[in-house]
Structure 1
Amino acid sequence: MRADRLVAALLFLQARGRVTAAELAAELEISERTARRDLEALIASGVPVYAQRGRGGGWRLVGGARTDLTGLTSPEVQALFLAAGSSAASPELRSALRKLLRAVPEPLRPHAEAASRARIVDDQDWSRTAVMASGPHHTALERAVLDGVRVRLGYARPGGVPHERTVDPLGLVLKAGHWYLVAGTPDGLRSFRLGRVTSADPTDEPVRRPADFDLTAAWRTLVTQLEDRLLAATVTARADQDALPVLQRLLGGRLSIGRLLEDGRREIEAAGPSVEVLAAQLAGLGARVEVVGPPQAREHLARLGRDLTARYGALQEAATHSHFPLGTYYTEDANVADIA
């Protein structure tokens, strides 16, 4: 640790120009005696530091000497502070950036400071729901990954009962606003969404890390496996032009838009985990989307139609004889009468 302290002392000298042993001791949280020994060690190692005695004295770098301990270029400095300098950074990260700023050459400091103020992270969507939420066990799992210890993990899938298992935490991944733990299990490599973790208790057992483990390659394998399950089925259909924006928001990259038909509609293909799930999603667009195949999708839509008719048909019949037809909304404010 003394080598780290000597580097910190040199950076403090470089940033301040002149320091006293008391100032260095306060900065590094050491005794004045230790601070003087560190300064003398810098001199012994060839760093051009000299001591000036008396009032206004202290320790200086000879001739205003400078040292760049980072080797960073200006674009690299900006990229680093832009990525890590947001208001959402942890206290430890902000402290590390302040220390790094002292090591950055003077001409690059304005760029670094500008980059650290150029971006913030707002982790709530427009409904004020946190989309970057990682759950209360993020820190414990991160610590387990760094310390290399196994964890007794409580985990519950949506609507399920929590189950506990012992896993080997190998890494953390942030994907689309959600954190995942990549871990070894008796069933092989698995990913666990941190928002569904109910408990994380580290053990005294060391992690069993596969030989030549690479987190990037492991995650790519897990993603491929999951995508294969999520895109196991496809449905073809014909869609009205005004339905395409809705379909794109609903399906995203799972939607393929084909040729324009003579009647003005478009051929589309949708992918999903099952034909039934896709049919239910497309049913919400009513007659604006005509499912062509496979036959199971059309059969499932017919069943949905019969179920909906049985549930709401009598209600619709009653509404047609009432003063206010079903589906029509009345309001004193005409500007909000057409709320979708």
Structure 2
Amino acid sequence: MAVLLLLQRREQVTAAEVARELDISERTARRDLDALGMAGVPVYSVQGRGGGWRLVGGARTDLSGLTASEARALFLVAGPASSVTPVVKAALRKLVQALPEPFRAQAEAAAASLVTDPQRWGSSRFERRSPRFLDVLQDAVIRGVQVRLSYVDRERTETERIVHPLGIVAKGPSWYLVANTEAGLRTFRIDRVSSVDPTGNAVHRPEDFDLGESWRAIADEVDRRRTPLEVRAVCAPHRTGVLRMAFGTRLEVGGTTTDGRIEVVIRGNDEYVLAGELAGLVQWIEVTGPPGVRDHLASIGNALVERYGSDGHGRHAAGGQPEVRFHSSD
């Protein structure tokens, strides 16, 4: 299909040009050109200097039958949010180079319009559902047009503004619009959008904008604001995987200490809650700061000994071990 579309876009192509455009070998290009003729497509070769392959009489045979909107929908699966195999993605990226204009520009925009971030914010267990204005906003991203957006923030205040849609992000069960505004790059939860009115004016896109990289920076900043407390610790080297499962994106893994342990930083927003999360990992992790978290860990340790290191009534059972007290400086 890609070779056929190349032939339709140009009057004549050589096997070398096909190979270069579609990132295949010249031998494969010649084989595919021959296969088109065997399939009944009116293609023929011109021999000699300046020769190549042509469609008979400039024929416009379209094996794909794609409309502009169908081409856009197809190339949504070639983007970074896709769950298709790398082989399918590679094939679609080759095909997009062969699409006739104006299909190609919108197909490329569709492929870059969506990013999926599986890490959810908070503990929501809701399934992802397409919000009301998702399709119209994604259409604005792909066509590169500004929209007049009515938006209800978390305080239930409704505002209206002109924004420049740059991309759509599916994060956990929620959908977000990344847009350029007078105040710079901003994100909008699409389920809080109350109306969308495309203006027809072209989007002003920041130079070298990349949706994936921009979203990572946005998500990191949101995570830092949500979890401003940082706990510093060292961990047994073979247990960092346990920490990753326990804390996800709240964990940052650093370098190796002189005794072979791994430096880590764990983010949260409450010292006592973080101490509770860490209490079950004391076999493999040593908290070095802040002091408040160490104090809470010592308190939790003493409470555990009080409850489970005795006969259940504050007294040690016969033959039991002497009382152990934990201190934050231990």
TM tier, shorter chain?
Answer: 0.3 to 0.5
Q: Please tell me whether Structure 1 or Structure 2 has the larger radius of gyration of its CA atoms.
A: 1
Higher helix share: 1
Structure with higher RCO (Cα < 8 A, 6+ apart):
2
| TM superposition score normalised by structure 2 | 0.44
TM-score by length of 1: 0.43
